Structure 1
């Protein structure tokens, strides 16, 4: 993955870039509302009674071809009846436009239709009854299965390019979220421990099936915070990390935030029950999910290390402890 270090332009710098981008899409007299400021700078755009999402993409994270491929897939998901970001082309017919940002590298800007709703994660946080939360996970499982059904039956265009979260993408020499075993916040002991875990994963993951029953395009960040509920309809947002990967990885990510919950097993069962209503579970799903929880933890360390501007190094020791505990739980490494 490319070096994504970046300067810190002001809010005004980003707003000026946003207005410049919107002119390419024929939108003027707009109202901007900042909706996200972590990976990408995201605005809710209101114009003439319609609402849109404008994303100013992090420099170096994706090529133009990869960004265009993301929109090609979300458009195909919509055509298949799944609510995902619906892209809007520029006046010139382009999916993205390149805009200058003072104090930073130019950024690709993409526009899609705004989808209203409350995140499933917020709804779960507001719900005190674990049984009702489990029902949400069953809905999420059905949604994941529907995404995978579309993915395995869809033929991407010849120009389609997205990364792979296979063994190399997770624990190879250039993992998608960075070389976690070299993170600056690690002690020498922690580096050695993560290097051992990495080698164990490198030995294990190549044996996992990459047939259509287990592997395809996946969202790869399909947790409850990236699913909206509005008037009974679920919609998926934030395909920034979508790529090729294992279906069991997708399901593991859905539960990752809840690993320390005492009712985790019940949530997992509900998620898998929902998935099985729409699609056969991947082979060895439960055991593979446990391995992917370790991989996700290591990925998160790499993600933090590649983004020093977020100042999250203090989270790394707890993540190392989590990786150790998860590995111990399954007698791994």
Structure 2
């Protein structure tokens, strides 16, 4: 019996195997297949027999269950039915949206052209506010019992336990990092208590927007969670300076044209930022066996890396306790603050 695991097969996916999987599901292809940029999953552009192009997405084994993936697909279908510009799955000829080959689950999407916006101006943030509100209206109208709920446990404490158990953090930085991270988790848990949660995108950063000829699409619901609406706001606007705060107001004004926004949840921005940083660091550590990760994150794991992360989390704590705003003389001309390289999956 072969000792090859689904993870081994996933890491060694080839264009030939991708085409074989797509054709096994009933879609005839030409021998044209290109890998697309994605860390967490494997994503390919495939040419069908009629020369149209589709996107084949292969889910990393062990990350999501079949039930969790199908809840993502159902949410996308509901959004598309509400005429919200997303990219829903393309059903296979038998009507299903999820197939499996060699214990690797995969689905298809219709190819949508465009690129991430170069700049997001005031008009775009007002537009994104309205679009996010429409997504949240649909999200709040249904449930996702199998998806992750964004919490201090799921986005921090479980990861910290995993990091500590495997001695991932160098001894010289471990105590400081864990103390800061656990304090962030405690603040996040307190602030999240009683806050309304529903289905949200969960990873709504500018890289998951697609713009072409003025048409805007929202991509990649792979990290869809049950969480607070403000998560989708701060990821689009992660900055701490006066410009970012003004643009948040523009976003909220657009959002409130279609759905009420609880402004008290803006106090969650810094704690949510901290949870994201913890979750991101653990994500890299969990994926280190994948050859793309050491190549992409060459400085990860060094003691200096963890001290930098601890400093960023300590900053999050300080700002959380101060109400979330940077001092008026700081950050006026800065891009998003430290710790913002946490936008992990491009597809």
State if a TM-score over 0.5 links the two structures: yes
- Picking from 86, 89, 114, the partner of 1:87 is 89
Q: Name the Cα RMSD after superposition.
A: 2.9
Q: Which whole-Å CA distance do the structure 2 matches of 1:161 and 1:85 have between them?
A: 22
Match of 1:119? 116
- 193, 211, 230: which one pairs with 2:180? 193
- Deviation of 1:324 (Å): 1.3
Partner residue in 1 for 2:287 = 307
2:150 to 165, 183, 186: 165
Matched, 1:242 2:228: no
TM-score (ref. length: structure 1): 0.80
Work out which of the residue numbers 173, 194, 210 in structure 2 matches 1:208: 194
Provide the rounded CA distance (Å) in 2 between the counterparts of 1:60 and 1:323. Answer: 29
Q: Does 1:20 align with 2:5?
A: no
Specify the SS of the correspondent of 1:82.
coil
Using the alignment, how far apart are the partners of 1:238 and 1:266 within structure 2? 27
1:54 aligned partner: 56
The counterpart of 1:225, out of the listed 194, 199, 207, is 207
Distance 1:300 1:10, change over 3 A: closer
Task: Tell me, yes or no, if the aligned pair for 1:147 and 1:218 is still in contact at 8 Å.
Answer: yes
Q: Distance in 1 between matches of 2:94 and 2:9?
A: 30
Question: SS of the counterpart of 1:87?
Answer: coil
Please give the secondary structure, in 1, of the residue aligned with 2:283: helix
Contact 1:70 1:239 in 2 (8 A): yes
TM normalised by structure 2 equals 0.78
Give the Å deviation of 1:152.
Answer: 1.5
Counterpart pick for 1:147 among 132, 135, 148: 135
* Distance change in 2, residues 1:154/1:193 (3 Å): closer
Give the match for residue 317 of structure 2. Answer: 327
Q: 1:165 to 1:302 in 2, by over 3 A?
A: same
C-alpha distance in structure 2 between counterparts of 1:138 and 1:185, whole Å: 42
d(CA) in 2 for partners of 1:5 and 1:50?
Answer: 30
Partner SS for 2:257: helix
Gaps of 5+ in 2: 324-347
* Counterpart residue number, 2:339: none
* Number of the residue aligned with 1:68: 70
Matches within 5 A, 1:97-112: 97-100=99-102, 106-112=103-109
**Gaps (5+ residues) in structure 1?**
101-105, 125-131
